[in-house]
Structure 1
Amino acid sequence: MSIEIVRQGAELELAARVVELVRQVAGPAAEAEVMVQHDAEALTRFANSMIHQNVADAVTDVRLRLHLDGRTASGATTVVDAGGLRGLVERTVAAVRLSPPDPTWPGLTPPTPLHRTAGHHGSGERSGLDFGFDEATARATPAERAERVRDFVRAAGGLETAGYCRTTYSSAAFANSAGQSVEGRTAEAAMDGIARVAGSDGVARLASGRLGDLDGSVLGARAAAKARAGQDPVELPPGHYEVVLEPEAVADLLDNFSVFGFNGKAYTQKQSFAELGAEQFDPSITLIDEPLGSRAEPAPGLPFDDEGTPRESLVLVREGVTKAVAHDRSSAAEAGAASTGHASPASRTWGPYPTHVRLEAALAATEPGLPPAEPSNPVAESARPLVAGVRRGLLITDLWYTRVLDPKTLVITGLTRNGVWLVENGEVTAAVSNMRFTQSYPQALGPGQVLGIGSESILLPDRWSGTRYAAPALHLASWNLTGNASG
């Protein structure tokens, strides 16, 4: 069972049809915007070192937002025949007439061409529909995903394994009554797996715009090495520790920075830590939202948002200085700014936030590197040079169950997971039991607090639908551990 690729232009025809129906039902004064999106996901799950589920799902969603006589209403349907589309329009027109006045309506996106990605250095204009799109990934078969699961299990060397290999495909089109009309498509592959032995877990994750980039053998061996090295952990007392966070853990920082910090609505309501123009981070920190992907991370999203605004790279932090937050048209109007192309179905309520953030890696060192790692070494390759510089601290693989205690300062509490080790004089000396932490994320990456950044940003599977984070390892001066395994 493989994913069927939707005919190019099909969604754009649907969107244009809905705009025309709005004119017929509500008259020429109605302002309408229509997003038609076809999402397909194919998932191969494994547990107890065996594939136990192979599923595929595809749905086309039509979303209409209508502004009429100073009022706004929205509707959606997955029924895309003539009756379903007319029903959507008639329901939304009826709803808008019962809605309260909407003085915050920002108007429609005018006709605007799609952008080239900043990461694309070739000549000529790209196609908004096809740039960075890997059709082989979109059409991936269960057998192709199963090959990667098999390789993961074999590489784990008899350890119990579990996880998934997933391929996704989206094609979408937008049209509004002001004449904006755009379309695009994207595909992604991801693998996330654990290996387990005697209560010790190791993890390996990777995402890419190409299924061919996922090597189950490499991921399985990495997870197994971590699991074996995590046995017989010791407990350490709470306190502030020097840490190396591997990319999986850093992704949680990027996720929370995006949702709570670089959120345009939170910023305009003064609920965010972000201060434009302020040196809030260490000078080594540069954060860029790259919805169109780049040469370094070829996993593009759709080239426009739910309001039809073209997307492009957005520098959030440059060399420690906060430069921007994400906006849709509503938050931009409130802030006196321009939309950055971050509208979503929930952005008017939850707020617009970046979804493709990359923390720029450090330049690779020119001096000779470290010797090859032993197969049992639990340190991810990209983190090894950072671990070598730790006098006494912790290597942390992953963070989970993280919750915001204070959104303004972004104080987070959570747990370590899938491997923690004590590092002394640059060497891993003992496995450590999982610990609870309570830490302000901006403070942890503040001026003078970042002691090193890995030389490679790893693209990781999304934690929420549509989000992708590319993270290197980080060496931080201090991380506040507030409890250990025994409480």
Structure 2
Amino acid sequence: MSIAERVLQTAREAVGGSADVDVNVVHEHEALTRFANSYIHQNVASDTDTVTLRIHVDGRTAVNSTTVTDDAGLTALVERTAAAVRLSPADPGWAGLAGPAPLPEAAAPDLATGEADPDLRADHVKAYIEAIGGLTAAGFFRNRMVVTEYANSEGQTARGTVVEAAIDGIAKTPTSDGASRQASRFMGDLDGAALGARAAAKALASQDPIEIEPGEYEVVLEPTAVSDVLWVLGGYGFNGKEFIEGTSFVQLGEAQFDLAVTLVDDPLSGPAAGALFDAEGTPRGALTLVRDGVTRAVVHDRRSAREAGVASTGHADAGSAVHGAEPINLRLEPGAGAAPTEVDGPAADSSVLALVEGVRRGLLVTDHWYTRCLDPRRLVMTGLTRNGVWLIENGEITRPVKNLRFTQSYPEALAPGRVLGIGSHAPAFASKYGVQSAMAPALRLAGWNFTGGASG
């Protein structure tokens, strides 16, 4: 009998057969190789088992977790959760448990990626550092594998494995830096040498930057910057709880975005594939959030879905009752065009250069940093550019520019008529702050509001 089934059985015996009970068991293996000053200085790995038990009885809900998975630890988990539910306040938002339902079919996970050893990570790091040449390199390479098992008293059971590898690095000169990063569920998709060469080219091309006046500029945002845009849109906008509470910009059925914008949350295809069920055991398939500029959906856990009068989209997590459900595997559909090729200079690929060629005067932006929300209803964000900014004049990248502060509504930047081009290549990126991923092509936008330099 699995841990989930054992805990479920014990909990039902403790509180009675009429209670709603569900159990999540998550085993996470994460291994990390860090490098600084162009050499590896740390190899670490961790394996953590977390068991989460939720009991709902007599209109009350209690949730507890443990990382102690021997018999004594699991018994203690059941006892304190059963005791807590009797003292918990009423839970009027309880939406019941997910019933039995099959999971979407997906390709088997690449276990070699999830279980990669330090030697394999070191090979990628070595290739990255060697490609940077005489510049100073720093960053990390990580691989992770998450095995999740779910069971509840309604008869729903699910088990799945998600794997990921990611590289994130920087090359530095005395006056500049350049970054590159990528993630995939297949380690073989990551090319440390190509990414290192890209970071070095950006660092060398952004030396001795000039200052320019703040204002609205046409921009080409590279995929690394677009990944930030997608995560912000997902967390604040396509969040079911935020939508219900009226703090989201989303208006379902309205053409809120440019006709070129199609945004999908998809665990089934591409290098950023993810889990096929959520923390409530609800299956999760591909969900179109925006189609041809028209906003079609937001994501829900069971609580927000019940309030909205719709079905859960399978986006519950441990904290979604508080912060709301968020998209996990966002993909902005790329535009038509040639496949990317490696090029010299600050641009990341040929699709970026194609976007640059159409700009009379504007800026090429590599990255966003330290972004913070000023107005969730309009989704106005402030932040800084980072890791390379260049002036574009008459379709050519001319001079490096010092970092700028921006204050910009992300949805308004992508509004009808504002998206002038989408890159033909959508690499995958892993969030530094959670389990989310983004597949992000470059964007050419009619305007981006820069409000000052990095110092103010």
Same fold (TM over 0.5): yes
Q: Structure 2: which amino acid aligns with 1:239?
A: G
1:305 paired residue number = 278
2:30 paired residue number = 41
* Structure 1 residues 139-191: Cα deviation after superposition (integer angstroms, max 9, x where no partner): 21100000111111110011000000000001011000010011000110000
In the alignment, structure 1 residue 194 sits paired with structure 2 residue 170: yes
In the alignment, structure 1 residue 73 sits paired with structure 2 residue 101: no
TM-fit CA distance, 1:374: 5.5
5 Å-filtered alignment, 1:232-271, equals 232-271=208-247
Q: Is the 8 A contact 1:192 1:461 kept in 2?
A: no
Distance change in 2, residues 1:243/1:132 (3 Å): farther
* Structure 1 residues 191-245: Cα deviation after superposition (integer angstroms, max 9, x where no partner): 0000000120100101001111111100000000000000010100011000000
2:187 paired residue number = 211
* Structure 1 residues 39-64: Cα deviation after superposition (integer angstroms, max 9, x where no partner): 11000000000000000001010001
Q: Is the 8 A contact 1:132 1:186 kept in 2?
A: no
Q: 1:345 pairs with 318, 327, 340, which one?
A: 318
5 Å-filtered alignment, 1:36-435, equals 36-116=25-105, 126=106, 131-292=107-268, 294=269, 297-364=270-337, 375=344, 377-381=345-349, 382-435=351-404
* Structure 1 residues 356-375: Cα deviation after superposition (integer angstroms, max 9, x where no partner): 1000000225xxx99x7753
Q: Is the 8 A contact 1:286 1:320 kept in 2?
A: yes
Which blocks of at least 5 consecutive residues in structure 2 are unaligned?
none
1:460 paired residue number = 429
Q: Is the 8 A contact 2:342 2:348 kept in 1?
A: no
RMSD over aligned Cα, in angstroms?
Answer: 1.3
In the superposition, the TM-score normalised over structure 2's length comes to: 0.98
Instruction: Please state whether the residue corresponding to 1:349 is helix, strand or coil.
Output: helix
Q: Is the 8 A contact 2:8 2:22 kept in 1?
A: yes
Q: Is the 8 A contact 1:191 1:461 kept in 2?
A: no
Alpha-carbon distance in structure 2 between the residues aligned to 1:444 and 1:139: 41
Q: Is the 8 A contact 1:159 1:195 kept in 2?
A: yes
Instruction: Please state whether the residue corresponding to 1:348 is helix, strand or coil.
Output: helix
Instruction: Please state whether the residue corresponding to 1:100 is helix, strand or coil.
Output: coil
TM-fit CA distance, 1:433: 0.2
Q: Structure 2: which amino acid aligns with 1:422?
A: L
Q: Structure 1: which amino acid aligns with 2:112?
A: A
TM-fit CA distance, 1:484: 1.6
Instruction: Please state whether the residue corresponding to 1:140 is helix, strand or coil.
Output: coil
Q: Structure 1: which amino acid aligns with 2:9?
A: E
1:6 paired residue number = none
Q: Is the 8 A contact 1:191 1:206 kept in 2?
A: yes
In the superposition, the TM-score normalised over structure 1's length comes to: 0.92
Q: Structure 1: which amino acid aligns with 2:366?
A: T
Distance change in 2, residues 1:99/1:154 (3 Å): same
Q: Structure 2: which amino acid aligns with 1:406?
A: D
Alpha-carbon distance in structure 1 between the residues aligned to 2:210 and 2:355: 22
Alpha-carbon distance in structure 2 between the residues aligned to 1:357 and 1:138: 21
Instruction: Please state whether the residue corresponding to 2:318 is helix, strand or coil.
Output: coil
Instruction: Please state whether the residue corresponding to 2:320 is helix, strand or coil.
Output: coil
Q: Is the 8 A contact 2:370 2:384 kept in 1?
A: yes
Alpha-carbon distance in structure 2 between the residues aligned to 1:361 and 1:215: 21
Q: Is the 8 A contact 1:133 1:300 kept in 2?
A: no
2:438 paired residue number = 469
Q: Structure 2: which amino acid aligns with 1:225?
A: A
TM-fit CA distance, 1:486: 5.3
Alpha-carbon distance in structure 2 between the residues aligned to 1:260 and 1:444: 16
Q: Structure 2: which amino acid aligns with 1:80?
A: T
Q: Structure 2: which amino acid aligns with 1:400?
A: W
* Structure 1 residues 434-485: Cα deviation after superposition (integer angstroms, max 9, x where no partner): 0000000000000000000000111012232211000000000000000024
In the alignment, structure 1 residue 436 sits paired with structure 2 residue 405: yes
1:478 paired residue number = 447
TM-fit CA distance, 1:300: 2.1
Q: Is the 8 A contact 1:132 1:300 kept in 2?
A: no
Q: Structure 2: which amino acid aligns with 1:219?
A: L
Instruction: Please state whether the residue corresponding to 2:122 is helix, strand or coil.
Output: helix
Q: Is the 8 A contact 1:260 1:407 kept in 2?
A: yes
TM-fit CA distance, 1:291: 2.0
Q: 1:19 pairs with 8, 27, 32, which one?
A: 8
Q: Structure 1: which amino acid aligns with 2:365?
A: I
Instruction: Please state whether the residue corresponding to 2:323 is helix, strand or coil.
Output: coil
Alpha-carbon distance in structure 1 between the residues aligned to 2:108 and 2:434: 19
Alpha-carbon distance in structure 1 between the residues aligned to 2:272 and 2:255: 30
Alpha-carbon distance in structure 1 between the residues aligned to 2:454 and 2:337: 37
Instruction: Please state whether the residue corresponding to 2:181 is helix, strand or coil.
Output: strand
Q: Structure 1: which amino acid aligns with 2:228?
A: D
Q: Is the 8 A contact 1:132 1:299 kept in 2?
A: no
* Structure 1 residues 303-336: Cα deviation after superposition (integer angstroms, max 9, x where no partner): 1000000010010000000000000000000001
- Identify which range, 235-244 or 463-472, moves more after superposition: 463-472
